[in-house]
Amino acid sequence: MGEFELIHRYFAAPELQQSRRDVCVGIGDDCALIAVPQGKQLAVSVDTSVAGVHFLPEAPAHSIGWRALAVSLSDLAAMGAQPAWFTLAISLPEVDEAWLAEFSRGMADLSQRYGVALVGGDTTRGQLSMSVQVQGYVTQGAAWRRKGAKPGDIIYVSGKLGTAAAGLRIAQGLLSKGLPLPDLDALNAEDSVFSESDRAALKAYLYPEPRFDLISVLSSRVSSAIDISDGLLADLGHILTASGVGASLDHNRIPCFNHADMSPESCSQGALSGGDDYELCFTVSPQRRLELEVSAEQSKVSLHAIGMVTAQEGIRGIPESASVGFDHFKDKR
């Protein structure tokens, strides 16, 4: 199968195109042509996923496709941008049609959920990796930034942190026993062989959900925001640096994913430093706190106040042993 047949069959599939009126020209020309809605700013972000570094090459191709798109979309959610289009640059060591069909189905399942259209890309031969560039739009001036947190603001996180880190450990455990990793259907199956906690953890790791549901809840109420991709301490650290402030955390209030087979210490360490959760961390001024909590309650999303922004720099209130998240150039994975 040639490059163009491959593109046509697996990436130009209607499931990945969506019917968006703002896509004037999609796959097939030298460029895609997009009509940007009036009064909006384009939000653009790209993330690369390399086999063995960002994802387990043994993972189901359906999960690899889903995840590659999800981690990029999460950056749009983190700035309050509505997702719209994406491009995919993929390197494949070989043409494995069964793998490609599952990969593109996983990407399509997530893209359909948010109506994001695949409008172009590039296909090359090489070590398995993919870069997904996403574009979304946000009302002029309304995007949440990392800078903007002020002393006295309350720090919040969504979801239970450390869930994906637990999922990665469970996945590695399965692989070490020579067992396959489950795809979404297997994780959702009524007769699944996995416990409830294993399922939740594996789902969080293999099928992350970008938190677009938080955009309307947080809307203009937040003073800064970020998505948690490298662990709470690392990503909150980016907000603090950008805003020129520090934080005092209430360790007991940080929502941890507790797994029956893990010690409380390792759950807590996962919540502070585990990556891949793609939850949001954000700050809110005390004046808007009540409004935010009412809005969260109405939308049935759970948010957790975990501390306060301080004028004094650095993060206080967490065990000294807690380590910061992963850094590609500092750490060896």
Distance CA 303, CA 251 (A): 15
Q: How far is the CB of 124 from ligand ADP (least distance, A)?
A: 9
Longest distance between any two alpha carbons in the chain, whole Å: 61
CB-nearer residue toward Mg ion: 29 or 331: 29
For residue 242, give the nearest of 144, 147, 154 by alpha carbon.
147
**At residue 235, what is the residue type?**
D
Distance CA 212, CA 233 (A): 22
* C-alpha R_g of the chain: 20
Q: How far is the CB of 42 from ligand ADP (least distance, A)?
A: 18
Closest-approach residue to Mg ion (CB): 122
Token readout for 301 is 């999303």
Interface residues with ligand ADP (CB under 6 A) are 7, 11, 27-30, 88, 90, 118, 120-123
**At residue 157, what is the residue type?**
V
- With CB under 5 to 8 Å by kind, the binding choice for 64 among Mg ion, ligand ADP, none is none
Q: How far is the CB of 37 from ligand ADP (least distance, A)?
A: 22
Contact 202, 276 (CB under 8 A): no
Is residue 3 at the binding interface for Mg ion, with CB under 5 A as the rule?
A: no
With CB under 5 A, what is the number of residues at the site for Mg ion?
1
- With CB under 5 to 8 Å by kind, the binding choice for 110 among ligand ADP, Mg ion, none is none
Which span sits near Mg ion by CB under 5 A: 24-32, 77-85, 119-127, 156-164? 119-127
Contact 224, 80 (CB under 8 A): no
- With CB under 5 to 8 Å by kind, the binding choice for 28 among Mg ion, ligand ADP, none is ligand ADP
What are the Cα distances from residue 96, in Å, to 61, 102, 279? 11, 10, 33
Distance CA 40, CA 83 (A): 12
Q: How far is the CB of 11 from ligand ADP (least distance, A)?
A: 3
- With CB under 5 to 8 Å by kind, the binding choice for 167 among Mg ion, ligand ADP, none is none
Contact 212, 137 (CB under 8 A): no
Residue 177's Cβ-count burial label (10 Å; 0-12, 13-18, 19+) is exposed
Residue by residue, DSSP assigns 239-256 as: HHHHHT-EEEE-GGGS-B
- With CB under 5 to 8 Å by kind, the binding choice for 239 among Mg ion, ligand ADP, none is none
CB-nearer residue toward ligand ADP: 42 or 242: 42
CB-nearer residue toward Mg ion: 122 or 313: 122
CB-nearer residue toward ligand ADP: 7 or 226: 7
Q: How far is the CB of 19 from Mg ion (least distance, A)?
A: 25
* Strand pairing category for 246-249 and 154-158: unpaired
Distance CA 189, CA 278 (A): 24
CB-nearer residue toward Mg ion: 22 or 122: 122
- With CB under 5 to 8 Å by kind, the binding choice for 200 among Mg ion, ligand ADP, none is none
Which span sits near Mg ion by CB under 5 A: 116-124, 152-160, 176-184, 281-289? 116-124
Distance CA 72, CA 86 (A): 9
Q: Which of 5, 96, 122, 331 binds Mg ion (CB under 5 A)?
A: 122
Q: How far is the CB of 126 from ligand ADP (least distance, A)?
A: 13
Residues contributing to the site for Mg ion (CB under 5 A): 122
